[in-house]
A and B are shown apart, each in its own frame.
Chain A
Amino acid sequence: MRLQLEPGKAPKVSVRDALHGAALALLMIPASAQAQSAPSDRIDVTSLLYGEQGRTEVVEPVVRFTHLLPDGQSVSAQLAFDVITGASPSGALPSGTVQTRTSASGHVITSKAGQIPVAPFHDERVELEGTWHKPLNRLVSSDLGFHVSREKDYQSLGINAKVSTELMRRLLTVTVGGGVSHDTVFPTGGTPAGLSDGTVVNLGSNAKNVTNVLLGASRIVSRQWLVAVNGTETLERGYLTEPYKVISIMSHVNGTPIGELTDKRPSTRNRSAVLLSSVYHLSDDVLYTSYRYYWDTWSIRSHTIDLKYRHDLGDDSYIEPLLRYYQQSAASFYTVGFVEGATLPDFATSDYRLGRLRTITAGATYSFRPDFAAGEFTVRGQYMRQFGNSSPSNAIGIQRNFDLSPPVNIVAVVLGYSFDY
């Protein structure tokens, strides 16, 4: 009887498994060697130190563990812990005299004359992420993931999935994916009504749901060149307002801030982005370039241009300088402040992050494998300078004398160590 396999009917005993058992007996691999030839695991430890001049400081240690399985599967888990301290612009305008006010968290804040008022804060965030990568067949692979994060006034729970398939003799990879996240916002001291004097309307939590889909393709153009295009669409629904941000009311006489209203943003936001990227291998070095265009239903448009160049310094180290330019337009409801007596719009914010912004980043990564230890060390340094709209057209009176968005200097340092075992 010949082995004629009927379509769709698996043999009673897997040939593969029978062979594997016989091969293992034959290979007589000693236990120690077998342990060493087991799939390698990897641990990455990084620590981010981030500082905005006179504002926020972030310390974020991250530990990532990756376990590789022999059939191409891998599982990884990442635990991150952030400590964020400092002060962030509250959205209020500077005044000619010392200002004092209380924040939602009960702190008393004072600002010097002419200075942008900031709200101090201290927050800690813990995030756990997991990913499971599994090849489904020789050309298709899937990734399943989740994340859980928690901080004093915010919680996020999410799952995501993606499938990649290789086409055209593996020269083209197409990826489709998506994720959902259910977030909860519970502002300290309760949720204030939007565009109000801070009257608390909700002592409980506010829901925010995020759905995103992504579609991407990468293509090997030649032995040296890989190009990719990625599109993402993110839908946010729910409480999208920043409860601690405020908008100043200016005196119509001289622009002096005479009061404040809370921030209020629409409860929907659709965000879209397209990323074009290219990786070009020169004889030894690698040039990475990318351009990203982003737009959303709040009328923010942004452009990001990224340039990286990896240069090997001998066998054990490389350096990778980076240059980035970022520019965004303001949200349609962004305002520097209200003039007293003006009709209030439906939505408004003075959060500088939704205003006109430009950021220039220069930095470098240096990676090396020292003689004294196994594994790879990485040091990444970045300097950013952020520019806003210093003299918005609707500033009046004394506000015209102030730099309403002085450039901010930001330094970020990442120290990393990874090793296989």
Chain B
Amino acid sequence: MQATALSAEREGTNDAPGLRRVDDYFIGEFHAMASPCTLLIDTDDRTEAAKCLAIASAEAIRIEQKFSRYRRDNIVYEINHAEGRPVVVDHETALLINYAATCYVMSDGLFDITSGVLRRVWTFDGGRKVPSRQSVEACLRHVGWPRVEWQNPVLTIPVGMEIDFGGIGKEYAVDRAAALIASRTQSSFVVNFGGDLYTAGLRRDGRTWAIGIDDPGRTGKSALYRLDVPKGGIATSGDARRFVQWRGKRLGHILNPKTGWPVDGAPRSITVFGRTCMEAGTLSTLAYLQGRGARQFLKQQGVQFWIV
């Protein structure tokens, strides 16, 4: 109880964009997309740091407002509540849907933005409650990207189905924020939205930013690996925080849209380094969806990755 109260309090204070100097760089913090967000920027100029922080938080909040499935005033709500009617989407949403469609094809159906309805029956709170076979099967009737009609820019989804950009939205926000910041500053920086991050270039002393991968068994307490990557996106998929226990196994929150069940046999945590955060995030999720084949999959992609 105490820990919960403390973390709530800390998150509360992070809601106000805060900028502070640490050693020879600035850290800006804010809260968006249900995650703590930070910007590290290698500058001595507070004004520049504040400007970049404002850009990062504005972009994070914009993307959250536009694509969160928890709001009633955005395009996702409109699509999910169209009751079978076609919806004309804007250019940005269209490209995001195209990206999701590519992910579906490339993963042979394992990455599916219509799989969110499965969360109605699954609760990943660390407990032991799993849904009945009947309820999973009932949900699966509303899952499947091929049932969606997508003729850019018109999207039509059957009644009872939903789309959800949760699997790519945060990474997209990271890349967008990074691109906007890069167009305003020459300084090296790291955008980190809840563990999905983008690192832009070497620091002034020629070194890379030190990025740690947490031990999934001890979230936030210790860094298992230290990454030294000059430029690119980093994202982690795993079961660190949201999982359910079943028959002595720990099942992470990533669901296989074909079975309706959490992926079995996947590593605890998969971190991928890619050219963009979206690439890293999607590959780590696709790898996770491979279960025991995660390592093999990533090897074939020729990316740098860390499996715990």
A residues touching B (Cβ–Cβ < 8 Å)? 1-5, 7, 10-11, 13-16, 18-30, 32-34, 36-37, 39-40, 42, 68, 70-72, 135, 137-138, 169-170, 312, 315-316, 369, 374, 376, 420
Total A-B pairs in contact (CB under 8 Å)?
139
Stretch among B76-84, B94-102, B113-121, B139-147 lining the A interface: B94-102
Instruction: Establish whether residues A20 and B95, one from each chain, have CB atoms under 8 Å apart when the complex forms.
Output: no
Residue interface mask B270-284, A partner, CB < 8 A = 1: 000111101100110
Can you give 17 contacting A-B residue pairs, CB < 8 Å? A14-B302, A15-B301, A16-B283, A19-B106, A19-B278, A22-B98, A22-B99, A23-B99, A23-B282, A26-B95, A27-B276, A33-B182, A37-B231, A42-B202, A68-B231, A138-B306, A312-B24
Main secondary structure of the interface of A (DSSP, over half): loop
Is the beta-carbon distance between A26 and B278 smaller than 8 angstroms? Answer: yes
Q: Which of B92, B175, B206, B283 interacts with A42 by CB under 8 Å?
A: B206
* Nearest-neighbor residue (CB-CB) of A135 within chain B: B304
The one of B180, B226, B278, B305 that contacts A138, using a Cβ cutoff of 8 Å: B305
Task: Tell me if B297 is interfacial: C-beta within 8 Å of chain A.
Answer: yes
Known: A19-B278, A138-B305. A39 touches B108 (CB 8 A): no
**Which 7 pairs across A and B sit closest by C-beta, in order of nearness?**
A3-B108, A33-B183, A37-B182, A22-B102, A23-B278, A26-B95, A16-B301
Q: Are A316 and B230 in contact (CB under 8 A)?
A: no
Q: Is the Cβ of A36 less than 8 Å from the Cβ of B304? A: no
B110 at the interface (CB under 8 A from A): yes
Interface status of B47 (Cβ within 8 A of chain A) = no
What is the number of residues of chain B that contact chain A, defined by CB distance less than 8 Å? 58
Q: Taking A4-B293, A70-B232 as given, write out 6 further A-B residue pairs in contact, using a Cβ cutoff of 8 Å, ordered by the A residue number.
A: A10-B300, A22-B99, A29-B179, A33-B183, A72-B229, A374-B186
List the A side residues contacting B230 at CB < 8 Å. 39, 68, 70, 72
Q: Are A25 and B304 in contact (CB under 8 A)?
A: no
Q: Select the residue from A1, A11, A72, A138 with max chain B CB neighbours within 10 A.
A: A138
Q: How far is the CB of A420 from chain B (nearest CB, A)?
A: 7
Of A3, A5, A7, A20, most buried by chain B (CB within 10 Å of CB) is: A3
The residue among A2, A15, A376 with the most chain B CB atoms within 10 A of its own CB is: A15
**Inter-chain contacts of A68 with B (CB < 8 A):** 201-202, 230-231
Distance between B175 CB and nearest chain A CB, rounded to angstroms: 5
CA gap between A26 and B109 in the complex, in Å: 21
Give min CB distance, A45 to chain B, whole Å.
15
Shortest CB distance B274–A (Å): 7
Interface pair B278/A5, CB less than 8 Å apart: no
Q: Shortest beta-carbon distance, A318 to chain B, in Å? A: 10
B288 at the interface (CB under 8 A from A): no
Query: Are A26 and B172 interface neighbours, CB within 8 A?
Result: yes
> Which residues of B are found within 8 Å of A18, using beta-carbon distances?
102, 105-106
B178 proximity list for chain A (CB < 8 A): 37
Q: How far is the CA of A5 from the CA of B109 in the complex (A)?
A: 14
The complex places the Cα of A316 from the Cα of B24 at a distance, in Å, of 8
Contact, CB under 8 Å: B302 / A20: no
